[in-house]
């Protein structure tokens, strides 16, 4: 981290691009904690067309040269230090990185500036007696003045750090003597002349160094594992030392120190609970006060500090998500923020996207990580323009996909909190207003699965619940446009088996509901065995169930699942997935007349597809035809029923998953989940939409 006197620039590695290789990204933070480089931070060019086969955990170095930021990092492929310059406005000034050859690695706290001269210190790989520790000197424009300043030629020296007092520099590092490490320091002038080195004391941790005025404070660990803070003058002469009453065995020593008031702030992470704390100390390292820097228990060992002269920023790695690439970069300005700012804004994981249309636009709902499994919605107009870049927050702790419908006036969004309800609902107006507020209102106190559909005048809610003695039952209830529920709760015949994966359609005055039946078979060695079948029923517009027993769509021992229904004005269609064996499945479809009579089963597309991780399908009526979409081996395909042709909907090197198909006058629209593999988004599911018709186009629901 570095500051230009106003804003802070924080750089980090992002290893989601593949092979463990971490590209360098940076972001500016204002004194009031605002992220100035949204939505994806500053991508630093690394000169590679694809990730190298090798990688390093060596951190980047950041320094303000006097007119630009210099961001430098060790490049494992060229065995050199690469760097770019970034101006105050966040513009990268170098289209390809500059390079200093022969650099082995950078440590944390590896850069410092006098204001018009900057020094980045580094280590080299042992080779023919070359310098083991060295430095590069930059001028005020970020140009190299001296590429290689030898500091030490001992192969046992490592972990070099540096600070500046405004007039010159002081470097500190570790030296291995065969039994233990010794702390060594040496001054370096602003012109790059290295002074006499001094061995200070034994140390069990990599040193930290900062300057506040003309002298320096070096932090290290003595053999008793206590944290030691020692003051030195500009020439490296010892002026005093303080031993703190904290032991390194209790904290991560990938810590940081920066000027703070008339003294210093020392930030560290507690080992046992991964909480981030700081000590304010005086110029001698004497304790002044303790501060808690974050409220979570997810802070990793890496922490950075910076000061702009009046405000202090802390940045850290936070492990929020429980799946995927979970590390995220946060920062906080201590004087103006109580909570952190997410820097790595490319990171949010989006999944389970569902959508509806009002005929002139669209509303998509999706689950958004990392902030507590949030449910958010985002509007898209008829031209494909996103109207809610960050999405509109609805609720948190949402684990199952939300359901979305349009009731003729507003969108209706329904969702479950947790794994057993309650089932909540809110109406969203076309202008994005939450008519029932954030978190909506409870419509069903408890349920395990649910579905939603609308006929343009009212909405039908369907859900599964366990009654007394754990007997499963399926119910439905109609809801008016103003959000009031019909007093009559409809009980759907279900053969006393649990229902799941509900899908609802409407046509010719009739509701059509399909679901997966979880038919209990037996208890075997403490395991409950089920057979999955596809059932359906019809409900009149007055709320009368038209079928005394469920309509059997598919019943076999082949695990029928994921029903998706649609209506084209002439009949209903049910599409579903049938598992053929542990590796392959087929996508099947069956028409059902308004009289409830089911037609013959047909196989969609060009044969069987592989079982998908997420067994979800989507169906829509486009004109007089039915379109069905499904996932096959990480790609999404669609087919017009009866055509026998399987067409790629989203088939790339990335992984795609089915969301929602919606009909439009000149084709159809697909909302789907795309697990991007490119750098920055690598491995992160994102919500996308795409028009199909005259000219297919890909768009992102939310960056």
Tokens 């803070």 sit on residue: 229
Kindly state whether residues 619 and 644 are assigned to the same domain. yes
SS3 248: helix
Q: Provide the Cα torsion 668, 476, 391, 326; round to 10°.
A: -100
Find how far residue 415's CA is from the centre of its chain: 22
Distance between CA atoms of residues 625 and 470, nearest Å:
42
Structure tokens at 131: 């310098």
Q: Are strands 374-381 and 80-86 parallel, antiparallel or unpaired?
A: unpaired
Distance between CA atoms of residues 513 and 539, nearest Å:
8
Kindly state whether residues 248 and 382 are assigned to the same domain. no
User: DSSP string covering 114-173, please?
Assistant: -SS-EEEEEE----TT--SEEEEEE-TTS-EEEEEEEEE--TTEEEEEEEE-SSEEEEEE
Domain boundary among 342, 360, 387: 342
Structural domain containing residue 190: 2-342
Q: Distances from the Cα of 263 to the Cαs of 113, 191, 213, 255, 334, in angstroms?
A: 19, 27, 9, 17, 16
pLDDT at 102: 85
pLDDT at 427: 98
Kindly state whether residues 356 and 333 are assigned to the same domain. no
Kindly state whether residues 212 and 329 are assigned to the same domain. yes
User: DSSP string covering 385-452, please?
Assistant: -BS-TT-EEEESS--SPPEEEE-SSSEEEEEESSSS--EEEEEE-TT--BTT-TT-EEEES--SEEEE
pLDDT at 527: 63
Measure the CA angle with vertex 364, ends 491 and 412; round to 5°. Answer: 40
pLDDT at 431: 95
SS3 383: coil
Kindly state whether residues 536 and 431 are assigned to the same domain. yes
The domain that contains 299 carries what CATH number?
A: 2.130.10.120
Kindly state whether residues 274 and 383 are assigned to the same domain. no
Structure tokens at 675: 């697990």
pLDDT at 517: 93
Distance between CA atoms of residues 97 and 147, nearest Å:
15
The segments of the chain whose pLDDT lies below 50 read 18-19, 128-129, 321-325, 347, 606-608, 613-614, 694-697, 702-703
Kindly state whether residues 222 and 357 are assigned to the same domain. no
pLDDT at 389: 67
HSE (CB half, 13 Å, CA atoms) of 88?
6
Kindly state whether residues 312 and 446 are assigned to the same domain. no
pLDDT at 107: 86
Kindly state whether residues 323 and 368 are assigned to the same domain. no
The helix or strand, by DSSP H or E, that contains position 25, with its residue range, turns out to be strand 23-29
SS3 22: coil
Structure tokens at 514: 């399909």
Is residue 184 within 8 A of residue 175, CB to CB? The reply is yes
Kindly state whether residues 696 and 639 are assigned to the same domain. yes
Domain boundary among 342, 368, 394: 342
Residues in a beta bridge with 620? 627
Distance between CA atoms of residues 547 and 537, nearest Å:
6
pLDDT (tens digit per residue) in 150-178: 999 898 999 999 999 999 999 999 999 88
pLDDT at 362: 95
- Go through the chain and tell me how many residues it has: 703
Distance between CA atoms of residues 464 and 447, nearest Å:
6
Domain boundary among 277, 312, 342: 342
HSE (CB half, 13 Å, CA atoms) of 261?
13
User: DSSP string covering 203-230, please?
Assistant: ESS--EEEESSSSEEEEEE-TTSEEEEE
Backbone angles phi, psi at 615, to 5 degrees: -85, 80
pLDDT (tens digit per residue) in 659-697: 888 887 778 888 888 876 555 555 567 778 888 864 344
Distance between CA atoms of residues 143 and 84, nearest Å:
10
SS3 249: helix
Kindly state whether residues 327 and 407 are assigned to the same domain. no
pLDDT at 476: 98
pLDDT at 325: 46
The domain that contains 524 carries what CATH number?
A: 2.120.10.80
pLDDT at 214: 92
Closest CA to 44 of 31, 30, 58, 61: 61
pLDDT at 292: 82
Kindly state whether residues 569 and 485 are assigned to the same domain. yes
Alpha helix (H) ranges present in 486-615?
A: none
pLDDT at 248: 63
Distance between CA atoms of residues 445 and 443, nearest Å:
7
Total domains in the fold of the chain: 2
């Amino acid at each position: 981290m570095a500051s230009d006197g106003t804003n802070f620039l924080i750089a980090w590695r992002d290893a989601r691009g593949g092979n463990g290789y971490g590209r360098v990204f940076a972001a500016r933070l204002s004194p009031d904690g605002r992220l100035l480089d949204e939505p994806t931070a500053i991508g630093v060019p690394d000169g590679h067309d694809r990730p190298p086969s090798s990688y390093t955990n060596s951190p980047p170095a950041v320094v303000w040269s006097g007119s630009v930021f210099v961001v430098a990092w060790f490049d494992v492929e060229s065995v050199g230090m690469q760097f770019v310059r970034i101006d105050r406005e966040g513009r990268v000034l170098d289209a390809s990185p500059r390079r200093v050859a022969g650099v082995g690695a950078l440590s944390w706290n590896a850069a410092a500036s006098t204001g018009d001269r900057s020094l980045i210190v580094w280590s080299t790989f042992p080779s023919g007696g070359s310098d083991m520790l060295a430095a590069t000197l930059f001028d005020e424009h970020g140009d190299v003045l001296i590429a290689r300043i030898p500091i030490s030629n001992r192969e046992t020296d490592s972990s070099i750090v540096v600070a500046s007092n405004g007039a010159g520099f002081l470097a500190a590092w570790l030296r291995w003597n065969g039994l233990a490490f010794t702390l060594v320091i040496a001054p370096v002038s602003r012109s790059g002349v290295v002074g006499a080195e001094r061995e200070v004391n034994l140390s069990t941790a990599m040193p930290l160094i900062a300057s506040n005025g003309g002298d320096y404070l070096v932090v290290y660990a003595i053999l008793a594992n206590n944290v030691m803070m020692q003051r030195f003058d500009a020439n490296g002469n010892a002026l005093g030392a303080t031993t703190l009453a904290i032991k390194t065995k209790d904290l991560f020593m990938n810590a940081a120190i920066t000027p703070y008031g008339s003294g210093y702030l020392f930030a560290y992470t507690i080992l046992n609970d991964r909480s981030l704390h700081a000590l304010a100390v005086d110029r001698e390292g004497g304790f002044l006060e303790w501060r808690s820097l974050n409220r979570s228990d997810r802070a990793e060992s890496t922490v950075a500090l910076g000061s702009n002269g009046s405000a202090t920023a802390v940045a850290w790695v936070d492990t929020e998500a429980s799946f995927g690439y979970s590390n995220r970069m946060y920062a906080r300005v201590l004087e103006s923020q109580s909570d952190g700012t997410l820097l790595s804004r490319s990171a949010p994981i989006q999944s389970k996207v569902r959508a509806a249309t009002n005929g002139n636009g669209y509303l998509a709902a999706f689950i958004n990580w990392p902030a507590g499994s949030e449910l958010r919605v985002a509007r898209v107009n008829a031209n494909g323009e996103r109207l809610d870049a960050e999405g509109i927050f609805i609720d948190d702790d949402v684990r199952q996909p939300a359901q979305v419908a349009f009731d003729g006036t507003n969108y209706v969004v329904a969702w479950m909190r947790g794994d057993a309800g309650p089932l909540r609902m809110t109406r969203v107006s076309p202008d994005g207003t939450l008519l029932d507020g954030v978190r909506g209102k409870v419509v069903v106190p408890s349920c395990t699965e649910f579905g939603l559909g609308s006929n343009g005048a009212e909405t039908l809610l369907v859900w599964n619940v366990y009654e007394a003695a754990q007997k499963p039952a399926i119910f439905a209830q109609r809801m008016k446009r103003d959000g009031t529920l019909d007093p009559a709760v409809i009980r759907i015949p279900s053969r006393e088996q649990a229902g799941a994966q509900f899908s609802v359609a409407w046509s010719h005055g009739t509701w059509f509901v399909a679901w997966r039946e979880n038919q209990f078979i037996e208890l075997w060695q403490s395991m409950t065995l089920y057979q999955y079948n596809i059932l359906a029923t019809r409900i009149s517009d007055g709320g009368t169930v038209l079928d005394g027993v469920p309509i059997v769509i598919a019943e076999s021992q082949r695990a029928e699942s994921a029903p998706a229904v649609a209506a084209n004005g002439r009949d209903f269609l049910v599409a579903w997935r049938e598992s053929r064996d542990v590796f392959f499945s087929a996508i099947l479809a069956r028409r059902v007349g308004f009289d409830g009579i089911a037609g013959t089963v047909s196989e969609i597309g060009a044969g069987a597809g592989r079982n998908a991780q997420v067994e979800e399908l989507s169906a829509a009526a486009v004109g007089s035809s039915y379109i069905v979409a499904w996932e096959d081996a990480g790609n999404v395909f669609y087919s017009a029923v009866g055509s026998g042709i399987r067409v790629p909907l989203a088939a790339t090197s990335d992984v795609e998953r089915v969301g929602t198909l919606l009909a439009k006058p000149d084709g159809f629209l697909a909302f789907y989940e795309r697990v991007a593999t490119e750098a920055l988004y690598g491995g992160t599911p994102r919500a996308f939409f795409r028009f199909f018709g005259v000219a297919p186009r890909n768009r992102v629901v939310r960056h």
